[in-house]
Chains A and B, each alone.
Chain A
Amino acid sequence: MKRTYILCLLLVILGSARQQAFAGWPIGKYRNIVVPSFNYYHSSKIYDSGGRKVTPAGNSQFTSYAYGLYVGYGITRRLDLIVNVLAPDQRSQFTSTAGTTYQQSFGFGDIQAGLSYALVNFDYKAYFSVQVSGIAPLYKNGDQDLDLGYGVFGSEIKFMYTGSFSKNFLRGCYFNVETGYRRYFDSQGPNVIIYSALLGVPLDKRNQVSFEVGGQRSSSANKTFNQNLSINRDFAFTKGAINIGHTFSRRFSLFGNGFYTFAGRNTGVGYGGALQAILKI
């Protein structure tokens, strides 16, 4: 009950930081954005291979506290450099016939770095962008009780359509829809399809709320399902999230986020939240 949870958690967080910060909008030439975050994830139930919600044997559960840092820099009006790194502190309790095992690991996880390019600018109201990035592990599997990821390199391509509404009842609201493909360079992959849709609603000049539905479908030649989820590479989940943001100044905003994995296969029934500070420099 380790690796899959961790990966899911990492992917959830990797996705959400950018969306809440500025979605697929270009950062802007010469501008920087820094998003430190604190993330919490907990799961005590699982979705089995048939998508049924089941309680694992014993009192198996998984909890993680992860510290994240997302940095973006506007190289040109269309091209951004992005770097995202997480440092999870994860705790697992796994019960088997041998008894209950408690494990804990803390360290840097994967680093994701790449470029985002606004392919089409729809009169500054919406952008269609592509993001290409590489994923590299900042750890070695086996060094700690719990692996912090697959421990292999990967790459991702993601397309985003982001914009704001200027008419009718959605006037002032913003949206982001994105889909992408991630591949880990290992004989068993996995290959991951990611997707998400977000609608942001300004409550007033300083406050906003956004609703998001997103998920992943991870597929691998290794389809084995084991009660110990760490060996699973073939899984899927869909989560729903609510984000609430407050803008303190032009340079500083704070977002709180809560999410719940409401559907899945070979994955945890996870819920949690995140706190993100958005610093525009």
Chain B
Amino acid sequence: MQLLRGFKYFIVTAGVILGCCYSSFAQDKQEEAEDEGEVFIDVKPGSKNGIFKGDETIEFKLKVKSTYKQNQDGKLTYNVLSDDFKQLSTNSMPVHLTKNSSETYSVTLPKRIPGFYRVHFQFNLSAYDDTVKRVFGIDPEKIKTTLHKPADFDAFWKGTIDTLKSIKPEFKFTEDKKKSTKEKIVYLCEMKSWEGITIRGWLVVPKGGKNYPVLYRVPGYTIDMKPDYDKEDFAVFTINVRGNGNSRDVIAPDYKQYNLVNIESRDKYIYRGTYMDCLRGADFLTANAAKLRLNADKIVVEGGSQGGALAVFVAAMHPNVKLCTYQVPLYADMHDSYAIGSSYPVDTWPTLVFHDYIKKHPSFTKEKLLAVWDYYDPQNFADKVKCKVLMGIGLLDEFCPPRCSFGMFNKFANKSNEYFVVPDKAHEVNFTYFTFQYYWLKEVFRMP
């Protein structure tokens, strides 16, 4: 009997203790739950691509969703900065989000002159702080940047190209049967280029048929170019310039240092050879067009990033190039690009490597660096590009500031060029751009 009574006491006591524990645990959990949550912010510019006309209202819609189980109060501050981080305006508005709710805020920004601007949307709420950064453009076709073209620029490149012509190209191509497929033949192509160095590339030609238009793809920074099977209706030639991919037998720099090789000398700078390699690649296509079933009158040069600069050079200097398309062009308008790159709160490539070099070589100044680059800045070739051009850029690109990309774009001789802007991409474009690029090529070449 006593045992039973004792057991009852035990049950009651244990129940009270467990009840207290549960209550305390539940309270903790509730407090924890109230702290748990997230805010999702979706920013959409008033124009689909983030580009506005000068007379248009510059508007952004911000869809804000809170999953917090408590109200979120605070403010949204929106700062407009120049692309080189100079503060231009600031405004704010109150934000009130009830638990598990979403709101859309409309932000109108002051009108601006042609250019690209940063806008930082800063949310400071009860339990959440975040900043969303976007870039928008105003009338980019009206952007004018200064040319820094040396007086002997044309003579320098004429002399360089004449020297290249004196080097026997010794073109070779052999089918790589392992890489060929049921529908495409892959050739390993070899040729002698600047300073007699052997460079290589891959040519992919559809089986059957003849007279294929050629998509000539020049490489991004230190990219190992492989055979490209993706483009239907085109033969695709991908070239590995010196120091890249399978063209590293003589020059094989550390990839991070590629754009520093002999940077102190205009004549020995690696890009002199790199540019010539790309030109030689175009020579290869024209010289072997008949044997390889290519249409030498329908060559389009294409590249991304560094490949953008190379594509512009080839389009300017090779008479058989009939179209040029590039995305996120590196090194365009080096003076402004360097200045914008130097304004970033965090030192960023490619300016970063130039800064480091100058720091380690005090006798080599920024001015000397830019003086060398004045011979290689792709915008200095822009007036020689007579063919149609398609450019793609990402507005958030830190490596290739949009202002500089447009500075070059606006200097091309052909005025029926087109551009494609992706507002939420940085140093890249999206799949839609490449789809459009393909249709654009077929349209201009009148391909079925």
Contact A124 B443 (CB under 8 A): no
Q: Residues of B contacting A123 with CB < 8 Å?
A: 431-432, 435
Cβ-closest chain A residue relative to B431: A123
Q: Residues of B contacting A124 with CB < 8 Å?
A: 432, 435-436, 439
Are A250 and B432 CB-contacts (below 8 A) given A28-B439, A205-B183?
A: no
Judged by a CB distance under 8 angstroms, whether B264 is at the interface is no
Contact B448 A280 (CB under 8 A): yes
Contact A250 B435 (CB under 8 A): no
Closest beta carbon of chain B to A180's beta carbon, Å: 27
Are A250 and B447 CB-contacts (below 8 A) given A28-B442, A205-B183?
A: yes
Contact mask for chain B residues 417-433; partner A; CB cutoff 8 A; 1 contact, 0 none: 00000000000000110
Are A31 and B446 CB-contacts (below 8 A) given A124-B436, A124-B439, A205-B183?
A: yes
Judged by a CB distance under 8 angstroms, whether B224 is at the interface is no
Contact mask for chain B residues 164-185; partner A; CB cutoff 8 A; 1 contact, 0 none: 0000000000000000000100
Closest beta carbon of chain B to A164's beta carbon, Å: 11
Q: Residues of A contacting B431 with CB < 8 Å?
A: 123
Q: Residues of A contacting B233 with CB < 8 Å?
A: 250
Contact mask for chain B residues 237-256; partner A; CB cutoff 8 A; 1 contact, 0 none: 00000000000000000000
Judged by a CB distance under 8 angstroms, whether B6 is at the interface is no
Judged by a CB distance under 8 angstroms, whether B209 is at the interface is yes
Number of chain A interface residues as a range: 10 to 19
Q: Residues of A contacting B183 with CB < 8 Å?
A: 205
Number of chain B interface residues as a range: 10 to 19
| CA of A28 to CA of B443, assembled, Å | 7
Closest beta carbon of chain A to B441's beta carbon, Å: 11
| CA of A280 to CA of B432, assembled, Å | 24
Q: Residues of A contacting B432 with CB < 8 Å?
A: 123-124
Determine which of A29, A251, A280 lies in contact with B443 in the assembled complex, contact meaning CB atoms within 8 Å.
A29
Q: Residues of B contacting A281 with CB < 8 Å?
A: 448
Q: Residues of A contacting B442 with CB < 8 Å?
A: 28
Within 222-281 of A, Cβ neighbours of B (below 8 Å) are at 249-251, 280-281
Q: Residues of B contacting A251 with CB < 8 Å?
A: 448
Judged by a CB distance under 8 angstroms, whether A171 is at the interface is no
Contact mask for chain A residues 80-91; partner B; CB cutoff 8 A; 1 contact, 0 none: 000000000000
Are A249 and B436 CB-contacts (below 8 A) given A29-B443, A280-B448?
A: no
Closest beta carbon of chain A to B207's beta carbon, Å: 12
Contact B443 A77 (CB under 8 A): yes
Determine which of A29, A77, A249 lies in contact with B209 in the assembled complex, contact meaning CB atoms within 8 Å.
A249
Judged by a CB distance under 8 angstroms, whether A165 is at the interface is no
Residue of B431, B446, B448 with most partner-chain A CB within 10 A: B448
Q: Residues of B contacting A102 with CB < 8 Å?
A: none
Closest beta carbon of chain A to B256's beta carbon, Å: 36
Q: Residues of A contacting B436 with CB < 8 Å?
A: 124
Determine which of B209, B435, B448 lies in contact with A31 in the assembled complex, contact meaning CB atoms within 8 Å.
B448
Further contacts, 6 of them, CB under 8 A, given A250-B448, A251-B448:
A30-B443, A31-B448, A77-B443, A124-B436, A125-B435, A280-B448
Q: List 10 A-B contacts (CB under 8 A).
A: A28-B442, A31-B448, A123-B432, A123-B435, A124-B435, A205-B183, A249-B209, A250-B233, A250-B447, A281-B448
The 5 A-B pairs with the shortest beta carbon distances in the complex, nearest first, are: A280-B448, A124-B435, A123-B432, A251-B448, A250-B448
**A interface with B by C-beta (< 8 Å):** 28-31, 77, 123-125, 205, 249-251, 280-281
